[in-house]
A and B are shown apart, each in its own frame.
Chain A
Amino acid sequence: MIEVNNLSVSLGGKELLKNVSFRVRPGQFWAIVGPNGAGKSTLLKVLSRDLAPSGGEVLFNARPLAKYQNQELAQVRAVLSQHNQVSLPFKAEEIVMMGRYPYHEHEPTDADYAIVHRCLAKVEALHLADRLYPTLSGGEQQRVQLARTLAQIWEVPQGYLLLDEPTNGLDLKHQYQTLHLARELAGRGYGVVAVLHDLNMALHYADRLLLLSKGSTYAEGTPAEVLNPAAIEAVYGIAVQWVTPAEGGTCFIMPQPDFQPISL
């Protein structure tokens, strides 16, 4: 379990996060949502230990995050960051193999190669295995990086996956596929925390939502509870409505018809 207790982060005199608390249990898919500058990425950076909190604490399986060695953490949780630029001409397959590095001393085994290929297949990127990573398109690179994070926790029974805007740059089909994959992993006992921008995606795929506003928790709960039109208008400053398709099925969030983005 990941326990976040009264977390605060200040950088350069500015308070980016104030008293944020939540718990990620194995098997849960948490989405962190909120407008730009709400502190979503900052929160994920603290969870992945890129940033030290200025107050509060994060416990990973009941042990303070700060007490872990990098190597120990690498074997329980994987992180997909927002920017993944690689200038050296590694093959896509070699990039994914890097997810297996925490598990072998010198040379990868045949089992490692099998996992790498399985993870590439999971993100529909097996055909890219021999391509050079810098020559791939942005969306293809993102999928290869996702495969790399999958490979890292593939054999961990209750691993954690931290995803910062995992659908960034992906086409429509692969956006859904990525979130479907996150959902599937949660179903198998993984704890998934993802920063998401698309509220409809969050509504359809996440179990639990954390809605941040100006560095504080605005609401926490199931997607349907958190994403009510009143809350969205209060946090995002845009009037929305829930629309149920005529043929039934899940409803989705869209702006009110008379919404004017900018008054001229």
Chain B
Amino acid sequence: MSQTDTLTQPRREAGTFTARRRSRAGALGLLAALLVLAVLISVCTGAMAISLPELAGIVTQQLGMEAAYPFEEHQKIIFWFMRLPRICLGILIGAGLSVAGALLQSLFRNPLADPMLIGISSGATLFAVLAIVLGTFFSGLLGGLLGSYLLSFAAFMGACLAILLVYQLSKVNGRSQITTMLLAGIAINAFVNALTGLLISMANDEQLRSITFWGLGSLGGATWTTVLTVLPFIGLTLLYMPRLAKSLNLLALGESQAAHLGVNTTRLKRQTILLVTLTVGASVAVAGTIGFVGLVIPHIIRQAFGPHHRLVLSGSALAGAAVLTLADTLSRTLVAPSELPIGVLTALMGTPVFVYILLKEKRYTHD
């Protein structure tokens, strides 16, 4: 029909296409560079400093080459068995929580949606607290090591059960409604928090300390085992999320509009919720609840690079990884030799940023 088109001829033609892809690659490149920088800072800083030449020496030797620069043996041990697993865990969890936040915000079409909001984190917390409180009875039975695995397992199950309950509650006429789901999440959240409070009121002092520590989050338990434990869960989300980008863009138009444009909204909801639960469940299981990352990072990325999900999801993953790596570096160095809980740091850093974003958005809608 284009031949007979008599209205205004398009002024702007193609060519914008390649430019757009280039700017997207540029944005991701920038964020990747930021992550590399964060990792280098984190590797080199700590109670035992490792300089960049020493780091090069450790890495080249491990690769089977002649060590490029001299270093001390205990630096190598600290690097391989303390810093690197901790950094890897920080990257995975930071990326996972940010992507989970971005996914939920898009699914609920609500910029304030967060894994904390719909009961995933609180479900995990309830079961973890349950494991800590009841754990004392069983600890003789199971032994310390198994006990700590039990805690992670319980947290993961708690996350899954909470979201399953929310999902079932939100079904109206056999179809899950997004707004009902948000409300069901808030209700379950309140209920689960009350149960957690009940358990805490029954806990003894030692249990209280471990509950508090766990609730504030920490990457202190990082080993290669924990890294490998969460890798499949978070890795699955990171690999699968590009496939959801287009559908999530369409969901921004509205649920029925997305369906008109070919999205199977039921499947999209299930996939998103499943990925978020696996990611957040695994994160909370090994590192406790770390707030604000999932809420703030996607906001910053959208502000900086626009709302297209192909960029929001990958950008959030990179930025979240960088931010959590830096936050963890601070958490283990600020009050060394003791550690600040990382959840405290992310909240302290995240709140002012979030308030700034809110003020800026308010200005922008008033113009």
A binding-site residues for B, Cβ under 8 Å: 48-50, 69-71, 73-75, 78-79, 81, 83-91, 94-95, 98-99, 101-102, 106-110, 113-114, 117-118, 120-122, 124, 126, 129, 134-135, 152, 154, 188
Given contacts A88-B302, A89-B307, contact A81 B261 (CB under 8 A): no
Closest B residue to A78 using CB positions: B260
Contacts of B365 in A (CB 8 A): 134
Query: When the two chains form the complex, which single residue of A70, A74, A91, A108 contacts B17, counting CB atoms closer than 8 Å?
Result: A108
Task: Give B258 Cβ to nearest chain A Cβ, in Å.
Answer: 9
Judged by a CB distance under 8 angstroms, whether B250 is at the interface is yes
Give the distance to chain A from B9, nearest Cβ to Cβ, in Å.
7
Q: Check if A87 sits within 8 Å of B109, measured CB to CB.
A: yes
B14-27 near A? 1/0 per residue, CB < 8 Å: 11110001000000
CB atoms of B259 and A101 under 8 A apart: no
* Contacts beyond the supplied A87-B252, A89-B302: 7 A-B pairs with Cβ under 8 Å: A70-B262, A84-B253, A87-B109, A89-B307, A90-B249, A101-B250, A118-B10
Q: Report whether A118 and B5 are in contact in the complex, using a CB–CB cutoff of 8 Å.
A: yes
Which residues in window 176-199 of B have CB below 8 A to A?
A: none
Nearest residue, chain B, Cβ from A154: B1
Does any Cβ of A come within 8 Å of B145's Cβ? no
Please count how many residues in chain B sit with their CB below 8 Å of the partner chain's CB atoms: 38
Please tell me if the beta carbons of B111 and A79 are within 8 angstroms of each other in the complex. no
Cα distance A73–B16 in the bound complex, in angstroms: 29
Q: Is B8 an interface residue (CB 8 A)?
A: yes
27 pairs from A and B in contact (CB 8 Å cutoff): A48-B256, A50-B259, A70-B260, A70-B263, A71-B264, A81-B254, A85-B254, A87-B111, A87-B252, A88-B252, A89-B302, A98-B250, A98-B261, A101-B261, A108-B17, A109-B17, A113-B17, A114-B13, A117-B13, A118-B5, A121-B8, A122-B7, A126-B8, A126-B11, A126-B12, A135-B364, A154-B1
- When distances are taken between beta carbons in the complex, the residues of chain B under 8 Å from A122 are 5, 7
Which residues of chain A come closer than 8 Å to B21, judged between CB atoms?
A: 107
Q: Which residues of B contact A88 (CB under 8 A)?
A: 252, 302, 307
Report the nearest A residue to B111, measured CB to CB: A87
Q: A81-B256, A87-B109, A108-B17 are in contact. Are A73 and B262 (CB under 8 A)?
A: yes
Q: Decide: A50 and B254 in contact? CB cutoff 8 A.
A: no
Main secondary structure of the interface of B (DSSP, over half): loop
**CB-nearest residue of chain A to B260:** A79
Least Cβ distance of A129 to chain B in Å? 7
Q: Is B2 an interface residue (CB 8 A)?
A: yes
Q: A48-B256, A84-B254, A98-B253 are in contact. Are A70 and B264 (CB under 8 A)?
A: yes
CB-contact partner of B14 in A84, A99, A102, A114, under 8 A = A114
Chain B interfacial positions (CB closer than 8 Å to A) = 1-2, 5, 7-17, 21, 109, 111, 246, 249-250, 252-254, 256-257, 259-264, 302, 306-308, 364-365, 367
Contact (Cβ within 8 A) B262 A50: no
A48 x B14 contact (CB < 8 A): no
B111 → A minimal CB distance (Å):
7
The minimal Cβ–Cβ distance linking B190 to chain A, given in whole angstroms, is: 26
| Cβ of A53 to closest chain B Cβ, rounded Å | 14
* Residue contact A121 to B9, C-beta cutoff 8 Å: yes
Distance of B107 from chain A, by nearest CB (Å): 13
Contacts of A108 in B (CB 8 A): 17
Determine the residue in chain B with the shortest Cβ distance to A189: B1
Known: A70-B263, A101-B246. Is A121-B253 also a contact (CB below 8 A)? no
> Bound state CA distance, A69 and B17, in angstroms?
30
Measured in the bound complex, the distance between the Cα atoms of B256 and A83 in whole Å is 10
Distance in Å: Cβ of B5 to nearest Cβ of chain A: 7
Provide the residues of chain A in CB contact with B8, threshold 8 Å.
121, 124, 126
Give CA–CA (A78, B257) in the complex, Å.
9
Residues of B within 8 A of A110 (CB): 14-15, 17
A48–chain B nearest beta-carbon distance, Å: 6
The interface residues of chain A lying within 8 Å CB-to-CB of B306 are 89-91
